[in-house]
Amino acid sequence: MASMSALFSPFHLGPIQLANRIVIAPMCQYSAENGEASDWHTVHLGQLALSGAGLLIIEATAVTPEGRISPGDLGLWSDATQAALARVLATARRHSPMPVAIQLSHAGRKASSRAPWDGGQLIAPGDGGWLPLAPSALPHAAGEAPPQALDTAGLARIQQAFADAAVRAQKIGIDAIELHAAHGYLLHQFLSPIANQRTDAYGGSLENRMRFPLEVFEAVRAALPVGYPVGIRLSATDWVDGGWNLEQSIAFSQALRQRGCAFIHVSSGGVSPLQKIALGPGYQVPFAEAIRTATGLPTIAVGLITEPEQAEAIVATGHADLVALARGMLYDPHWPWHAAAKLGATVQAPRQYWRSQPRELTGLFGAIRIGQR
């Protein structure tokens, strides 16, 4: 069942070899306890690790307690949070060779929110929440209490927290880091003039607005071994006039390339409730293509990529190097199997599941042998 499928061709992300071009995008689960991974994460990440994808990226993981989006967010800021995640990772690793990355994040002014199934709105400090931190004392949405603007000492503390969390991740065997500079969270807030109205060296010009995210990247890069992959997720546009846009995203990506960035994961939006997103199949792919063309960096395309033929075309035509699925993978945790079946490719499956290979798809799971008395 040999295939010339581009989607199922291997790819090197620095020293990591991915079996194919399918990435499981980071997806918040809002199910940690004091930042510590729970039994839910063992089940959730274990299931995804058996999916046959090329890379699994663990959900947005806060580098400080106040950097959590919700009280249930995963964290990596202490020995306890490190040990909890290490246990979950060890369980998945016993049964899957899939490379695992982690998205490190600080929510900024979008912190202290309820879980989506509880409405997702801001939680007041007196109601179990906390005071969010941000580039400027500007609330995310009208009617919300303003966040606290970060001073230079606060910036230094958060920068160090990103570096410390990256070291913890590397120590427990995580293969790559993705810094979260998308979806309206802290690093994106610094980039966007909608959220950043500072008058110091961290606000105003594009160079100034890029300064803190680049300093965080440099700190993380310097804290890790040479060659260890550090990439970034960015929102290519705010979908708001006068906001962050593709031209600025390209400039930011070029600056990241000069600093040793391993990949760019290209999403969009999230910094303003006023966004007007032009939704449609693969609607963010042109952004990934533009950044890939301008920088030569490996790019990950994401957003309403649901069909195997669509994902195949994105990779085969050079629009992006890798394709990420999020909700589609939750809906169909064996999406890579079904994609391989449609495209005539081979995919990895745990031996405990080999007997599920359909009779007409000999070779879907490779050169497997099953015997029974």
| pLDDT of res. 3 | 56
- Cα 36 to its chain centre, rounded Å, is 19
> 232 near 257, Cβ under 8 Å?
no
**Single-letter amino acid, residue 149:** A
> 88 near 45, Cβ under 8 Å?
yes
Stretches in the chain below the pLDDT threshold 70: 1-3
| Other CB atoms within 10 Å distance of the CB of residue 194 | 22
| pLDDT of res. 233 | 98
Global pTM value:
0.96
> 3 near 304, Cβ under 8 Å?
no
Q: Is 281 exposed, middle or buried (0-12, 13-18, 19+ CB in 10 A)?
A: exposed
149 phi, psi to nearest 5 deg: -70, 135
User: How large is the angle between the packed helices 79-95 and 39-49, nearest 10 degrees?
Assistant: 40
| Other CB atoms within 10 Å distance of the CB of residue 251 | 15
Mapped onto helix, strand or coil, the DSSP state of residue 54 is coil
> 303 near 280, Cβ under 8 Å?
no
Give the span between the Cα atoms of 82 and 224, in whole angstroms. Answer: 17
Measured torsion, CA atoms of residues 117, 118, 121, 127, in degrees rounded to the nearest 10:
-150
Give the span between the Cα atoms of 259 and 201, in whole angstroms. Answer: 20
| pLDDT of res. 344 | 95
Tell me how far CA of residue 68 lies from CA of 30, 63, 114, 132, 250, in angstroms: 10, 8, 11, 9, 28
Q: Is 252 exposed, middle or buried (0-12, 13-18, 19+ CB in 10 A)?
A: buried
The H or E element spanning position 149 is strand 148-149
Q: What is the DSSP letter of 145?
A: P
> 308 near 343, Cβ under 8 Å?
yes
Six-digit token string for 293: 């063309």
| pLDDT of res. 370 | 84
Nearest to 103 by CA among 41, 58, 37: 58
| pLDDT of res. 81 | 98
Active site residues: 185
Query: Could you read off the pLDDT of 176-221 as tens digits, one per residue?
Result: 999 999 999 999 999 999 999 999 999 999 999 999 999 999 999 9
Q: Residue holding tokens 């931190």?
A: 133
180 phi, psi to nearest 5 deg: -90, 100
Q: Which domains are seen in the chain, by residue range? A: 11-356 (3.20.20.70)
How many residues make up the chain in this entry?
373
